[in-house]
Amino acid sequence: KAGVTQTPRYLIKTRGQQVTLSCSPISGHRSVSWYQQTPGQGLQFLFEYFSETQRNKGNFPGRFSGRQFSNSRSEMNVSTLELGDSALYLCASSLDRNGYSNTEAFFGQGTRLTVV
Partner 1 sequence: GEDVEQSLFLSVREGDSSVINCTYTDSSSTYLYWYKQEPGAGLQLLTYIFSNMDMKQDQRLTVLLNKKDKHLSLRIADTQTGDSAIYFCAESIGSSNTGKLIFGQGTTLQVKP
Strand partners, 41: none
Confirm if 49 and 31 have CB atoms less than 8 A apart.
Answer: yes
Binding residue for partner 1, selected from 33, 36, 72, 74, defined by CB under 8 A = 33
Integer Cα distance of 103 and 71 in angstroms? 21
* 15-23, 66-74, 79-87, 107-115 -> range binding partner 1 (CB under 8 A): 107-115
- 31 sits near partner 1 (criterion: CB under 8 A): yes
87 binds partner 1 (CB under 8 A): no
Query: In 3D, which of 55, 65, 59, 112 has the Cα closest to residue 89?
Result: 112
Give the residue from 84, 81, 109, 104 showing the smallest Cα distance to 94.
104
Where does this chain touch partner 1 (CB under 8 A) — which range of 13-21, 60-68, 73-81, 103-111? Answer: 103-111
Which parts of 54-73 interact with partner 1 (CB under 8 A)? 55-56, 58
Helix (H, G, I), strand (E, B) or coil at 12: strand
Q: Which residues bind partner 1 (CB under 8 A)?
A: 4, 6, 31-33, 35, 42-43, 45, 48, 50, 55-56, 58, 90, 92, 94, 96, 100-110
